[in-house]
Amino acid sequence: MTDTNGRTRRQFLRVAGAAGVAGLAGCAAEPVDDATSEPSIGTSDDEVTTSGTTTGAPTESMADTLVVATYPPFVNAPSTSPGAWLKEEFEAEYDATLVYQTPDSELNYYIERAVQGVDFEADVYVGLDTGQLIDADSKQGEGQFTGSLFAEAGDVAGSDRVKEGLRFDPQNRAVPFDTGYVSLVWNATMDDGEFAAPETFEELATGDYASDLIAQNPTTSTTGEAFMLHTVDAFGEDGFLDYWSRLQDNGVTVLGSWSDSYSAYLNEEAPMVVSYSTDQVYAAAEGQDLQKHQIRFLNDQGYANPEGMARFASSDAPRLARRFMEFVLRPEIQAGIAQRNVAFPAITDAPLPEDYAQYAKEPAEPVTFTYDELEANLSTWTDQWARRFAGG
């Protein structure tokens, strides 16, 4: 479920034009990186180079080194990312060195090593979502993978301020640090300025919006999966496939990744795209026409995708890992991460600037499924969707 393509939502795409635009019956899914692949920058399992940090894994003598694993755009997105800033802030306060590891296959890199019984040096994973946690837990018992990949968080100072609706780990290993909401982004300049996005799922499937939507394949994209899950919530597990049939009949375009679909949207190949409700943050920062970056929450709802951080059970720096997690939950750090990651803080009292609140839109009603609900149903729902719509 790792979506290395989908996570590039944190890059503001300036290029226009997307190759391989396909209709729903002919979804062109981009391949997901193999879980056994090496980190994108580096030469071996034990030698990882990451932007703005040090090279090589820490040795036993480096007790003051914290190795933080995360997805690449958290550190090296070409537009903005929180990694370098967070490293600088943490090291300025603590007598410690923060080293990032950013394998292309993200958490799967560490899951596969656990299955193979191969040691790794990472202490904390930042950017964990519900699906990834389910993936990790589902691999327990395979190969040499016994126990949990992550340790229980315990009493992490500041975790009591995390919004209750964002907590997604029933075993209290993952602590949320930010969230995003999947919504429609629409272009009010289309149709000579007459276009307006629908307000409900039902309206979206009508002839008034034929061929007007670009979405993503839920089997290969985080945003696509979230949009599918929102339709499950709206129409039930017995009705969401029929709704997708209506979207298919209405000419929806489905691409394999968020980046491809957003490029197509910027090229005005359709007036709507499934994306994130923070879209105007980038648009405003880049001086773009906000009329081309309007936000619509269908049914006044947005699907919440909280991101968490968790300590690897094998970490040899558990106290420093806890200090880092507590540091991330401080209000001023929460605000800094949210702005640089173009997301919302996990706590309620992060001091965001007024203009950020102006451009980052929150739905009246967040929608999400719990860990238990997704563990029991997600693979079934995505398999059903793929069998019905992705085989052409």
Length of the chain: 392
Residue 153 and residue 62 share a domain: yes
CATH number of the domain enclosing 218: 3.40.190.10
Query: How confident is the model at residue 39, as a pLDDT?
Result: 39
Residue 186 and residue 173 share a domain: no
Residue 216 lies in a domain: yes
Residue 128 and residue 91 share a domain: yes
Residue 230 and residue 207 share a domain: yes
Q: What is the dihedral of CA 124, 174, 154, 141, to 10 degrees?
A: -80
Q: How many helices (H) and strands (E) does the chain have?
A: 14, 13
Residue 364 lies in a domain: no
Residue 353, amino acid = P
- Containing H/E element for 295? strand 294-296
Residue 38 lies in a domain: no
Residue 186 and residue 170 share a domain: no
Residue 153 lies in a domain: yes
Residue 158 lies in a domain: yes
Residue 283 and residue 205 share a domain: yes
Residue 134 lies in a domain: yes
Residue 50 and residue 173 share a domain: yes
Residue 350 and residue 315 share a domain: yes
Query: How confident is the model at residue 378, as a pLDDT?
Result: 95
Extract the residue ranges of the chain whose pLDDT is less than 70. 1-63, 78, 391-392
Query: How confident is the model at residue 220, as a pLDDT?
Result: 87
Residue 194 and residue 171 share a domain: no
Range of the domain at 185: 14-28+181-304+379-385
Q: Which of 228, 293, 231, 223 is nearest to 258 (CA)?
A: 223
Its pTM stands at 0.79
- Furthest-apart CA atoms within the chain: distance in Å: 66
Query: How confident is the model at residue 45, as a pLDDT?
Result: 35
Total domains present in the chain: 2
The label of the residue with tokens 């040795």 reads: 59
Query: How confident is the model at residue 391, as a pLDDT?
Result: 66
Residue 226 and residue 198 share a domain: yes
Residue 367 lies in a domain: no
Residue 324 lies in a domain: yes
Distances in Å between the alpha carbon of 93 and those of 86, 87, 98, 311, 321? 11, 10, 12, 20, 14
Residues contacting 80, CB < 8 A, separation 6+: 10, 285, 340, 342
Q: Which of 112, 192, 185 is nearest to 149 (CA)?
A: 112
Residue 119 and residue 68 share a domain: yes
Q: 283 phi and psi, to 5 degrees?
A: -60, -45
Count of other CB atoms within 10 angstroms of residue 17? 10
Residue 193 and residue 312 share a domain: no
Residues contacting 145, CB < 8 A, separation 6+: 111, 114, 115, 117, 139
Alpha-carbon span 327 to 325, nearest angstrom: 5
Q: 147 phi and psi, to 5 degrees?
A: 75, -170
